[in-house]
Amino acid sequence: MSALAGIYRFDGAPVTGDHLAPMLQALAAFGPEVRCWMPGSEGDPVALGSRPLRITREDEAHHPPLLSRDGALVLVADARIDNRTDLANRLGISSAQAAHMPDPGFILAAYEAWGSECVRHLLGDFVFLLWDGRRRTLFGARDGLGQRVLFFHRSTSRVALASTPAALLALEDVPARLNRRKVAMALVLLQDPGTTYFEGIERLLPGHTLEVGPSGMRIAPFWTPVPTREIRFSSDGEYVEAFLDVFDAAVRARTRGTGRIGVLLSGGIDSTSVATTAALTMAGRPLHAFHSAPAPTFDGRIGRGMVADESADVEAVADLCPGIDLRIDRDPHLEELWEVDSLYRAMGAPVRNPSNWGWYRGQYAAAHSAGVRVMLNGSLGNATISHLGTRSLRDLPGRGEWVTLWQEIRSVAAASGAGRWGVLRDQVLLPLAPLPMERSYRRWRGGRGDSLTLLEQTSSALRTEQAAALGLEDIARSMGRGADHLRRCRGVDLRIATLSGVGDTSDVLNCFRAWYGIETRDPTADTRVVEFCLAIPETQYHRGGEKRWLIRRAMRGRVPDQVLDRKEFGGQGADWMDWMHLLRPDAARELDNMDRSETVRDLLDLPRLRALLDRWPERFGPEHEVDYKLRFLRGVMMGRFLLWFDRTHG
């Protein structure tokens, strides 16, 4: 893995090392080695740079930038390519040569063979910049699920590209102006994946390419999670076999590395499926598992249908797989909650879920101390391998499967304790009814969900006036995030929206690569896994009243039964009720500081946050989650980011 930087000038002026140096200096945390390429003639208005950080055995042979034999193609890349063997066969690369070829070498060879279409042949996590001296263009791309990141800033004279916003801000002609719209959208949980918190600094979208030449810059998609085919088998068992073929391959590809392999292990199906599959794949190599659990003093209070302490489940996983070395951490790491200026400097963004930040960063710090270089997780599992399938009933009438529909209604009613009429009404008739009719019915029943504003739906600390001025309600509807759409859309559409809205999630992991030297890999974000899981029928995920039916069948015998059969969901940071009271003195001081900032006063509803501080409970419970864990904590942490922005960038 590597950090990248590049500059292309539209005016044809040469780019020198002095132009590139500030960006590479800002990327120093990624590694000590600096590798640059400058054109051999003044006619090439481009320069590329890299700070390589080597993780795999093949990386040891990687000395960027890579050049074609004639020197006309120059590549810098941050990549792990998973279909190396297939590419070698198709490109005529011998097995001996392929065994030692660094992953970027396959990108260069693929570009020589297929040009810009090479991205459609690459599997894995990647971002790259390639200067094509033959066509006089700079070409780049980001993998389909956006597991690697690339930012850019364009002006009338040039385009600058880098692995972090901070590297772009190091350039003298890149102003640091707050993107207030981004702040407002984040406070109502709307992802705007192409933007950053700095006006003018953009993020290349997942599954997109960019091409820069004398005529300007063109960005185009090459992959989306929208299914292009439908997979049908003749038996339920064939779906399981096919799924395991795809999933096992995705996990196996992500265990390649010379250092120790770790996994973030909750007690849920996604991470346990990744962990146990990795343990089988690694054939004797230890897998270091990291789990965060509530402190022993926590009394277990949590919302209905949730479980707070999953340590017994992860211990069962470790008992079933002797190769798993399990570490359970019960420290909430509150010191990490307030010491986030380093994150702001590195990522240029606030913490999206602050109640998770302490334990999340604590796990990476522990992994770093243990010598882990690769961390596995299952972040996108809910949209792929462990999809609930609860919306599958509304698809059956359109296919004329009336007998199946009635059987499923009876099964769901029996499993949930709800009446058959209630299941038919809520899961079939209302979602398929005209919207005015559904709204009228809900109002008649006394429901108020449709009347809640976006600020209330998202427990937001944004000022009402700002939400109205920016038209956030309309933006939410246009993005398919309005309450009506989310309630009525099909399961596959909701999953596509989730996979398409990754946003700035990968930015945090990019920072962790720099801080801890750990590369995060998610098998549930493998494009092969995504394409398979979206192409099979929704009924494979929900059958006979059982949710997550596919993964429960596929992992039976590989994952402990107590994990597969558990009905409750794990609560991340569930012990917040135990430590929240400790934050009051710090929170009071932070609100005092925010009162002095015009930016914060303009964006945040400080009177409401102050009122919550004044009503601070003696003891927190699940009933306080909306106001304190969500609205108050998110609001204060956003305010801290805005204060940092004012101090740093004026």
DSSP sequence for 73-130: EEEEEEEEES-HHHHHHHHT--HHHHHH--HHHHHHHHHHHHGGGGGGG--EEEEEEE
Write the burial class of residue 284 (CB in 10 Å: 0-12 exposed, 13-18 middle, 19+ buried): exposed
Residue 484: what pLDDT? 65
pLDDT surpasses 60 at 21 = yes
The confidence band for 481, taking pLDDT boundaries of 50, 70 and 90, is low
- Say how many CA atoms lie within 13 Å of 589 toward its Cβ: 4
What is the secondary structure of 145-196 as a DSSP string? T--S--EEEE-SSEEEEESSHHHHHTSTT----B-HHHHHHHHTT---TTB-
The rounded distance, in Å, linking the Cα atoms of 432 and 416 is 22
Average pLDDT on 331-339 reads 82
The confidence band for 508, taking pLDDT boundaries of 50, 70 and 90, is confident
The rounded distance, in Å, linking the Cα atoms of 270 and 637 is 29
Residue 451: what pLDDT? 58
Residue 490: what pLDDT? 75
pLDDT surpasses 90 at 278 = yes
Average pLDDT on 322-326 reads 93
Residue 312: what pLDDT? 93
Buried b (16+ CB within 10 A) or exposed e, 376-412: bbbbbbbbbbbbbbbbbbbbbeeeeeeeebeebbebb
The confidence band for 371, taking pLDDT boundaries of 50, 70 and 90, is very high
pLDDT surpasses 90 at 255 = yes
Q: Mean pLDDT, the chain, as a whole number?
A: 90
> Token pair for residue 571?
């609560």
The rounded distance, in Å, linking the Cα atoms of 393 and 405 is 6
**Which residues have CB under 8 Å from 160's CB, separation 6+?**
5, 6, 7, 23, 152, 153, 154, 168, 171, 174
For residue 219, which of 142, 288, 334 has the smallest C-alpha distance?
142
Average pLDDT on 125-133 reads 96
Q: In terms of residues, how long is the chain?
A: 650
Mean pLDDT is lowest, of 104-108, 141-145, 433-437, 470-474, for: 433-437
The confidence band for 307, taking pLDDT boundaries of 50, 70 and 90, is confident
Average pLDDT on 612-622 reads 93
pLDDT surpasses 80 at 414 = no
Mean pLDDT is lowest, of 362-376, 485-499, 560-574, 610-624, for: 485-499
Average pLDDT on 412-424 reads 76
The rounded distance, in Å, linking the Cα atoms of 638 and 350 is 6
Residue 42: what pLDDT? 62
Radius of gyration of the chain measured on its C-alpha atoms:
25
Residue 343: what pLDDT? 84
Average pLDDT on 139-167 reads 96
pLDDT surpasses 50 at 491 = yes
The confidence band for 374, taking pLDDT boundaries of 50, 70 and 90, is very high
The rounded distance, in Å, linking the Cα atoms of 253 and 251 is 5
Whether a cis peptide bond, with omega within 30° of 0, leads into 65 is yes
Supply angle C-alpha 358, 360, 364, rounded to 5: 115
The confidence band for 339, taking pLDDT boundaries of 50, 70 and 90, is confident
Residue 342: what pLDDT? 83
The confidence band for 449, taking pLDDT boundaries of 50, 70 and 90, is very low
pLDDT surpasses 70 at 486 = no
Mean pLDDT is lowest, of 243-252, 364-373, 400-409, for: 400-409
CA torsion 436-442-445-451 (nearest 10°) is -110
Residue 476: what pLDDT? 84
pLDDT surpasses 70 at 94 = yes
pTM: 0.93
Residue 63: what pLDDT? 85
The gap between the terminal CA atoms of the chain, to the nearest Å, is 34
pLDDT surpasses 90 at 573 = no
Inter-residue contact 610 to 591 (CB < 8 Å): yes
The confidence band for 587, taking pLDDT boundaries of 50, 70 and 90, is very high
Average pLDDT on 573-598 reads 91
Would you report the helix, strand and coil content of the chain in percent, each value rounded to 5?
Answer: 50, 15, 35
Average pLDDT on 637-642 reads 95
Residue 446: what pLDDT? 67
Residue with tokens 């792929």: 384
Residue-wise pLDDT for 390-406, tens only, equals 877 777 777 787 888 77
Coil/strand/helix, residue 353: coil
Beta strand pairing call for 372-376 and 519-521: parallel
Which residues are paired to 7 by β-bridges? 47, 160
Q: What proportion of the chain, given as a percentage, has pLDDT over 90?
A: 62
pLDDT surpasses 50 at 558 = yes
What is the secondary structure of 31-59 as a DSSP string? -S--EEE--SSTT--EEEEEEE---STGG
Q: What proportion of the chain, given as a percentage, has pLDDT over 70?
A: 97
